[in-house]
Amino acid sequence: MLVSTLIVFLASAILLWTFFRKKNYRLMKLAEKVPGPKPLPFIGNVLELGTGPKDLHLNIIRLADKYGAIYRFWLGSELYIVLQNSDYIQIILSDAKNVDKSSVYDVLKPWLGTGLITSTGEKWKASRRLITPTFHFQILNNFVEVFNKNASIFVEKLAHHVGGSEFDIYPYITLCALDSICETSMGVSIEAQRNSRSKYVQAIKSMCDILVARVFNLLLYPDILFRLSSTGRQHDRDLVTLHGMTNKVIKTQRQKNLQESAVADEVSNDTGEKKRVPLLELLIQSQDGAKMSDDEIRQEVDTIMFAGHDTTASAMSFICWALAKHQHVQERVMAELKEIFGDSGHSPTLHDLQNMNYLEQVIKETLRLFPTVPIIGRKINEDLNIGDYVLPAGANIFIITYTLHRDPKYFPNPEKFDPDRFSAEHIQGRPPYCYIPFAAGSRNCIGQKYAMLMLKSSLSTLLRNYKLLVGVTPLDLANEIILKSLSGIYIKLERR
């Protein structure tokens, strides 16, 4: 009985593999011309890449060192082509026809639907056109007060660590980012920093953990297996909480009719022009023209929440670590802040934030070494010629920003932390696609100006109160969709 079962299994496997090769013959023949590790039947190069976020991070770097500017690997039946050459990357990111995201982003769809991150084609173009005005600088100016308020709470929450031993600052930063993102995107305060055990805050953390777990477990990829698992059941419970919160806010905002009573007649403090409305109000306003349903509005708001809080928290945590490790850089930042604020204790204005030029260089250099999104994924819809290769339709493209940003051709002594790389003098003549912390091209990050202002507000408030000192716990980098340190971000604080 056992022998016959084994024979049936092997025969079925051979038939399936033969069918796959026949169906994907052209894809496989073109892929063979691209250098890369030899794949195994069915599983591809899963064993070569590892089964966890840290393994993936280390093995991607190892393969990059081995194969260079372009290589390929297989995950099951999915082909991935990795690019590290800035000229190759420019071809991909500037191509208006191949703008779809990689298949790996599909795990986000139950939560985010077809929001700005996961949508394609005309749906994506329409959403991008609609949402872009909400990140206009005049709108961002109105958010500075929110950033400052939550930065002050952040500083208050850290007070009991002053003069103490090292501690992990990352959880505090995450809650601060959540507060700012939620208030500026939805118009409500969830007070995550004061109530970190709230159901909504816990659901966001749980959902982010589940997404990472699913990405690195092929058994959880099929929807039917995922739904039967305990992880899938927790995922569904979290969805009820997350979608319920956003739907409730949408309903409340519609009832208040903000677009008629407050927005239409409101005038900008600086220009005398009408203000552009923030994200949620603008999306609700558009619904009157039958452009978006409540579900579509929820998807876009949830997308901003997911994309905004985790990336900003990652960036700020690594910036804090870099400032703590490089005291001479921290002192230069403090000199700049002293020049801007003098002995005043006032919160930063938009003008103050715009004058923090050296702090911006620090932020950019940190994002070079620790890009919050270490891999950018695309899907090729039609064949694309790059160098000596034809990238076949159906292939996934991975752009590894972590290794791209360490190209010694553009960044000499690349492991050295040197914010002067981003001074006006040094950026002249540097190719635009050799440094892409916010991606590039038509699908670049819509919130990069927003992120820069929030980071400057939070960091300047933190540094004006505390001196950052590096802890003894080293970083342990891993690719959890977002670049993170598995060991935490440990620093010490002294009061200024």
Q: Which residues are annotated as a binding site for heme?
A: 445
| Whether the Cβ atoms of residue 358 and residue 423 lie closer than 8 Å to each other | no
CB 417 within 8 A of CB 365: yes
CB 470 within 8 A of CB 321: yes
Q: Could you please report the per-residue DSSP string of 285-300? A: HHHTTT---HHHHHHH
Q: To the nearest 10°, the Cα dihedral for 205, 210, 213, 219? A: 180
Binding residues: 445
For helices 137-158 and 448-465, the axis angle rounded to 10 degrees is 30
- Give the span between the Cα atoms of 351 and 334, in whole angstroms: 17
Angle, CA of 479, 461 and 422, to the nearest 5°? 55
Q: How big is the chain by its Cα radius of gyration, in Å?
A: 24
Amino acid at 364: K
Contacts of 219 by beta carbon, 8 Å cutoff, 6+ apart: 225
**Rounded to an integer, what distance in angstroms lies between the CA atom of residue 132 and that of residue 302?**
16
Please give the Cα distance from 63 to 68 (Å, whole number): 8
- Kindly compute the dihedral angle of the four CA atoms of residues 199, 200, 204, 207, in this order, to the nearest 10 degrees: 60
Q: From start to end of 311-465, where are the E strands?
A: 375-379, 384-386, 389-391, 396-400
Q: Where are the beta strands (DSSP E) in 348-442?
A: 375-379, 384-386, 389-391, 396-400
Cα–Cα distances in angstroms (integers) from residue 101 to residues 96, 116, 121, 123, 281, in the given order: 13, 10, 11, 13, 27
**H-type alpha helices, 132-216:** 137-158, 170-186, 199-215
